[in-house]
A and B are shown apart, each in its own frame.
Chain A
């Protein structure tokens, strides 16, 4: 009896010893900065190297939450996230199914769909910005030459047209990522299920709803979580294409402006904390949803 306890204690100690390095790394690179951001969010703290920080309680949070620019940033981010992730999932699944079927040049297609994903976002966003330029952009020239548009449009001038353009660029860029993840999921589906389905007389459409979709759902959920969290933190596309326009910021752009442009570590940190909470809400939502759908 005594010996058994001793053994258990020893094993427990060994376990602690073995996970210690990872615990230390996590504490250093995740817990420490997070706690520091929480502390900064309660200070009036200008990074100008002159003013000393002082404690202000929740003033920074009150400032952010009462700033109309913040709420327009939240709404831009949410619209961007929902629309782009839905479109990317649908298109990604379609492309993955094409890439999964057998045909000549399949390898070439699989490589080709990755090209937009491989280009750094800052570069592709700048290229798109030139392409949608109102006077000399190729998009306007083609659309007016084909008489689809009566006259050239300044796409990035107002939120009404800028947001759809940015979503389109993001869909162009991130769909390959979705397609690649979903392709991996599709390849896990045993082929004999489809054979059995055809023998039982199920049409291709029926096979999709009864076999493909349910079996690819776990992969789809993982991909959705990745893309959603990515989209909620979007910065680069917006910064390059419409950077600076007050009503076209995202949560991350707003945060960058407070912290980097205004050197306000207090308000900047408070913004980070609020973004953290919003992203946590999405994570909880997703894990709840994925648990109920699997149990």
Chain B
């Protein structure tokens, strides 16, 4: 070595070989993490972009990679897409964001989260949602955020037209909406609407209509004992009331509106009342919004003086695919996104309802969403769609319901005919 200061040819060769080998091995070392394919919220809306960013934070923290897959804006279209993955037993998606009503449909294709989440942690969630997400002893999904239908009303306009508080019944709402609509239209706003809601023939109108029917005491289509209850005079009365709004206090086109179509009109300042989900709160209170500081949210009206307040229970969950090759990492992502810390951020940024009771007591959350103080009560009274009793066939029941209700709203069918049709299909499914 000492007599030969310059490296020998053989040494150069072995060194370069080593370098090449290191170069080859290095990526393998970096590849310790795995790629989780996450079908989250549609990234057209704020919720999707937000979820994507938070999922990236998890990836950075754990050294894994997240491949974010956007979903269609429309819930029914999303389910159709997911069902194709599930029917094919595809491992292409590891984590799915699924609706509260899809538990029965998804159960066969979900990993049991009880294997990945400790019992103590499960206890931190609302027991009702965990109960809903548990199918035949299997914890199908973790609650990401919950939803309940709420009534938004313009505080400035109510005051202008001499109303002290939001409507208690649908009848009151119709009367107030008419007065405000007439007044605003005369004041030079020809497109002003009294009340906007979701009348589109999709899951959207199922949620709206079950609230009307329940608020009038007409039940929830199928009761938990598998009895089909929809064909009753109170349900018909509820549908008649809704039908009377179309073209009077609501635009004719409301029958083709989903959540975003309704919110577009509301947020442009062109509606006095809106039925929508909590997400519309943060968007409306954004400083750039023209209605910022001019509205509030409350529980939906009762159907008549002896009716009930109703709010359709919604919400989204995270499910780990039974066909995932990286179920451990996938479950870790789901746990992270549902953690108290992230739920608090979600509540502050997006005004979406947390699924952990503790988050409702957080001062930052309440400062941003004062109405969350009443939210626990709204949630306790929330009504579930009949997805548990219908299981895999829920979509069929919901489809006949939303199509029939939509026909009633467009004047294509009588309310009596609609409830008869729904009853016929529902009876075939739950028998």
A residues with a Cβ closer than 8 A to B are: 46-50, 69, 133-136, 153-154, 156-159, 242, 244-247, 257, 260-263
B residues with a Cβ closer than 8 A to A are: 76, 79-80, 83-84, 86-87, 89, 105, 108-109, 191, 200-202, 251-256, 264-265, 270, 392-393, 395-396, 399-400, 402-404, 406-407, 410-413
With A48-B392, A134-B253, A157-B253: A263-B406 Cβ-Cβ less than 8 Å: no
A11 to B298, alpha carbons, bound, how many Å?
85
Is the CB–CB distance between A246 and B253 below 8 Å?
no
Closest to A241 in B: B256
Select A244's contact among B251, B403, B411, beta carbons within 8 Å. B403
With A246-B201, A261-B399: A154-B87 Cβ-Cβ less than 8 Å: no
Interface pairs (18), CB distance under 8 Å: A47-B83, A47-B87, A49-B86, A49-B108, A50-B392, A133-B253, A134-B253, A135-B251, A153-B252, A154-B251, A157-B253, A159-B410, A244-B200, A244-B202, A244-B403, A247-B403, A247-B412, A262-B393
Q: Which residues of B contact A247 (CB under 8 A)?
A: 403, 407, 412-413
| Seed contacts A153-B252, A157-B255; 8 additional CB < 8 Å A-B pairs | A47-B83, A48-B392, A49-B89, A156-B253, A159-B412, A242-B256, A262-B396, A262-B399
With A245-B201, A260-B83: A157-B410 Cβ-Cβ less than 8 Å: yes
With A50-B108, A135-B265: A246-B80 Cβ-Cβ less than 8 Å: no
With A134-B251, A154-B251, A246-B201: A260-B86 Cβ-Cβ less than 8 Å: no
Q: Which residues of B contact A260 (CB under 8 A)?
A: 80, 83-84
Interface pairs A-B: 6 shortest CB-CB: A246-B403, A134-B253, A154-B252, A154-B253, A244-B201, A47-B87
Q: Which residues of A contact B76 (CB under 8 A)?
A: 244, 261
Q: Which residues of A contact B413 (CB under 8 A)?
A: 247
A50 to B83, alpha carbons, bound, how many Å?
13
Closest to A132 in B: B253
Query: DSSP class of B's interface residues: helix, strand, loop or mixed?
Result: helix
Is the CB–CB distance between B252 and A263 below 8 Å?
no
A133 to B268, alpha carbons, bound, how many Å?
16
Closest Cβ–Cβ distance, residue A153 to chain B (whole Å): 7
With A46-B392, A135-B191, A260-B80: A245-B406 Cβ-Cβ less than 8 Å: yes
Is the CB–CB distance between A158 and B412 below 8 Å?
yes
Closest to A158 in B: B410
* Residue among A46, A50, A154 with max Cβ neighbours from chain B (10 Å): A154
Select A245's contact among B253, B265, B393, B403, beta carbons within 8 Å. B403
Is the CB–CB distance between A48 and B251 below 8 Å?
no
Closest to B106 in A: A48
Closest Cβ–Cβ distance, residue A261 to chain B (whole Å): 6
Is the CB–CB distance between B396 and A49 below 8 Å?
no
* Residue among A46, A47, A134 with max Cβ neighbours from chain B (10 Å): A134
Closest to B89 in A: A49
Is the CB–CB distance between B87 and A263 below 8 Å?
yes
* Residue among B79, B83, B265 with max Cβ neighbours from chain A (10 Å): B83
Is the CB–CB distance between B87 and A49 below 8 Å?
yes
A247 to B409, alpha carbons, bound, how many Å?
12
Q: Which residues of A contact B251 (CB under 8 A)?
A: 134-135, 154
A267 to B300, alpha carbons, bound, how many Å?
39
Closest Cβ–Cβ distance, residue B270 to chain A (whole Å): 8
Is the CB–CB distance between A261 and B87 below 8 Å?
no
Closest Cβ–Cβ distance, residue B195 to chain A (whole Å): 14
